[in-house]
Every structure is written in C-alpha cells, then in structure tokens.
Chain A
Amino acid sequence: MTKPPLFTAAQMRIYAWFAGLLLAWELIARLAFGDLYILSPPTAILLRILEDFPLYCRALGTTVLEALIGFALGNLAAILLAILVVALPPIERLAQAIALVVFCLPLVATGPVLRVIYGPGWGPQITLAALSVYYTTFVPLVVGLRAVPPNWLDLIASYGRGRMTAMTVVRIRASLPYLVASLKIAAPAAFLGAIVGEFTGADRGIGVLSIQAMRSLDVDGTWALATIASAVAIIGYALVGWGGRLLAIGAPPTLLVSPKARAPQVLWKRIGIAIGAPMLSIAVVLLLWQVSMDALDLSRFFAKRPGDIWTYLVTGGQAAAHRSELFAALGATMIVTIPGYFAGLGLGAVLAALFCLLPTVEKIASPVAIALRSIPIVVTAPLLVLALGRGQLGMLVIVAVMIFFPTLVSCLHGLRQAPGQVIDYFNSFRAPPLTQLFLARVPAMLPSLFAAARMAVPMAVLAATVAEWLATGTGIGNLMALTSSTSNYNMLWSCVAILTLVSVTGYMLVAMLERRVLSHFAPEQVIQ
C-alpha cells in the first residue's frame, strides 16, 4: 500500500527555495554584516526568541488580545454600517465620505490623542486596531452586498417580499465571500493597529518591546520581535482563509472596486451633488468631531474642537508662526513620502509584470509575496531605520516597502484576471510575450493597480510618520512626537487634521485618475 505523498513536488520546491533563502541570509549576516549591527542571522534570532520566550509570550498575549478585540469591534462596525448603507441608499455618499475620513486618520497621531482621552490601559491599542480594519472591510462589503444579480431580487419581489427579505435571504449570504476576503486582510491589519497603539505609550506588548529593543540598539531583539510579529500576522491571515475554506465560501470576483452611488440623470442635480456632497461631508465630519468631544465631556485642554484649531492656525495672534511650523514639517515628510509612494507602486507593478513573463518565478514568488504582504511592515520600520540610517533615503525605502507588497499581490491578482480567450487570441498570432503583456495583461491589471494605489495613500503616510516618530527626528511625525510629549495639544490636533486632509485629498486624486483611466481601458469596471 502506498501512502499519498505528504507534500507535492511544487510544495517541495517552495520549501527548498525557502531553506536556501534562510541559508543565504545566515551566511550573509555572519560573513558580510558581522559587526555592523544591522542584520541578524536566523540562528541568532531563533536563539533570542528561545532565550526570552516567557517575556515574548506575555507581550504577545497582550498584543494579540488587543488586536482580537479591535478586530471584532472594527469589523462589526463595518458590517453594520455596510448593511445600513445598502438598506438606506440615500445615506450612502455621506457614510462613504465619513468612512474615508476615518480611514485616513493618521494612526500615529491619533494614538497619543487617544492616549490622553483613555488614559493608561488598552483603549488606544484597541481603537487603533479597530480603525485599521474598518475601512478595508466596509468597502468590499458594500460592493458585495450590492453586487447581487437583479434576477435574484426579482425572485424575492415576485413573492411580494421587500428589502428586508432580500437582505436576509440573498444579500448577506451573497456578500460572504467578500467578507472572508476582507477579514483575511483585516487580521494582520488589526495586529498592526494594536502595535502602533503600543508605540504611542503603552506599558506592555510587542510594540513596547520593539521600541525598547530599537532604542538600546539591540539588533537581535529587534529582529526577533519583527519575526514574531510577522509570523503572527501570517498565521492570522491563514487562519481566516482556512475558516473561509472550511465554510466552503469561494473567492469573490474582484475586490476593492470603489463602490459608487448612482448618479442622477438631471444635470443640475449632478452639479449640486458634485459640489454639495463634499461640503456636506466636511460639515458632518466637523460636527461629529465637535459633538463627540462635547458628548464625552472631554477637557478643552487636550480634546481640541474644530474651532480651537481654526483659531490656532488661522485667526489667532500667532497663527502665521504656527502655520509655518506645521507646513515646514509637513513638507519635510511629503518630500520622502511622495517619491516613496511612487517607488513602491512602480516597483510592485513592474515586478508583477516581470513575474507574469516568467511563470516559474511567479509560482515561487507569488505565495512568498502573499505571506510578506501580511507582515506588518511598520514593525520592521525600526530595522529599516537601523539598517538605512536616519536620512531621507531610509525613510523613502520604508514608505516604498510598506506599499510594495500589497501592490505586488494586488497586481498579480489583476494579471491573472486577463480573460483566457483574449490570451488565446494573442497566442493564435504567436504574439511575442512583451506584446501580450502590454496589449492584454497590463490593461487587465490596471483596475487592481488603482485599487492598490488608492488604499496605499494612507499607508504611505502611516509608514512615514511612524518612522519619523520612532527614529528619524524629522518631519511631521517628529513634530507630533514632540508636541505630545510637551502637551502642545493644539499643534498635535492640527497635525492630525492636516494629515487627514492630505490623505483624503491624495485618495480622491487617485480615485479621479482611476475613473479617467479605467473608463478608457476597462469601461466595464466603471459602475455608473
């Protein structure tokens, strides 16, 4: 009797590659970087993990629990809001706008603000974990709840049943694949959010240990913590995926296509919405800010209201000085964030295209990329700072790396979407691979590239500010660190406001460009 092989040949090859990679890492670390305090060899990392096992376990327990609570709360909020938006279409534009603003809140700056609101404890970590999963669940879920074939709804209507039945019998079940796909992304994101929360002044957890290790130039320790964090993130991603497979929920057709409310036919109404909707959204966001602070009865000393910031930056006596300080810091951050953003995006897209030309490399690189995508890159920021120094180049690399993996994974997914018939058609002409790539595959990749580009905007800001906050001592991240330690809350809130504004604007610009480009290359993706 022969047993089925434990691993398939393809899996064996992947493991062999992985082992080779580890060996190369070990050798390079030992021989080339021996005394440079940058790269730790895998054996040293492993030893360190074993040595400090109880300490790491306790810290990990805290962080994982925070992440789990945040994961549950953030996703619950996203699910409820998505159902509400689909059930009550008129509130959609507003809900989307508010969701976007919340998504674009700079986590690093929100952390200290939350810290003063909550005081010591887990509040900020959990809130940041919830905030970092909320949007990536909300957006695909709205798409999923809506993307129901109209004839299913007709079936419900033909028995005289209304929206409620359509929601419970059809929409919710039909959106499950979208939900599972977003929860997969949310698992590592929640972990990342909890760690960022810990960076901003918690007393225990992986984030706290990371900062300590980095500040004391403990290279092995930093590497050990980054390894643990990455492993946990990958396990979270895999667990959710496994749960989805267990429930036999397939993959959704596309992900993160931005849902759009239906545009009205009449021109003046359309113009009205184009101008009115953003104004209304801004007004509602400001109102929410004011009302939530008032409702919680938070002290004006640290919980600033919109009016305070307006006085501080625009009408106050020293407003000009405050503004110039703020904008100088913002400028310093943007100088590295913007090139880093484009470098990460470009590299991800180009590499995805290259993989596509070399199918064997793709087979090996694709699972590795998916695994690395779930690593909370921010956790490795301390390492990158150690390795690349505190200059602009290091910052740029951190931003680029943060964006690179999600873009690569998204683009690989998009490239695989090129319709088989189209590829067959090109093959029938013996079209050379490059022609095929540019005429058939790249257009098919564009929607995924743009989806990644949109989501990457707040990520780039996060990466830059985290690095500045932790290490480099420059830019707006540093300004936030300074002002939060000196209790200059006016400036801290100004930083939060300006960074949110920058992220939202960047996101909208990419979305506008996306609509332009896609209506040319992939009109079927532009839902009108």
Chain B
Amino acid sequence: MSAGDGIRVASLDDIPQGEGIAVDKSVTGTDDDIALLRDTDDTVYALNDTCTHETASLAEGWVEDGYVECPLHSSRFCLKSGEVQGLPATRDTCPHRVEVRDGEVYLFPGETP
C-alpha cells in the first residue's frame, strides 16, 4: 500500500468510544507507539502514546470532549493539537493525521493533522 493511503491500523469498532488503543511503533515506524483515541463524538485522533510526563500510555487514558487525560497523574492533552493543558506534564505531545474510511482507521505517522 502506498504511504499516500495511510497505514490501516484498526477498525473503528476496535476502539470503544471514550477510549483508545496503542499501535506499536514497529507498525508506525515512529519513535514512540501511537495512541488512537476515539472521542465522545466518535472522531478518532492519534497522538504519541507515551505521556510527556513519565511513562504512562495515553491509550489507557480517559477520552472526552476533545481531550485525553493521562491514566497516571491526570495531565490533559488536546486531541487535535497534542497541546498539554495542565501539570504535571509540561511538554506538548505530537499529533498524527488519521482518517476513517468505511469503518477502517488509517494512520499517517508523522503527518500533521
């Protein structure tokens, strides 16, 4: 498959609403795993999986209303931009472009959404 179509990484049904799943970096070819996060309005976003504070996986976080909350210390990141909203994390995380076509989720690692 050409990079232009993205990598098919999951079906939409694999990701419960308000939750996330992690895609391994061996699949994405990135430095970090990538979290696919399905917001409460069913939009899917992709962010680097590791919280910029310590080592928690954002895919295990709480996803709601445009933000994901880290499962360890509740730092919040904007799903669209990766911007950090509050301590203890201080650095933004990296967003990736993601597309849902026919119920399948396609990831474009490294591409800005």
Q: Do A and B come from one complex?
A: no
Binding site for A on B (CB under 8 A): none
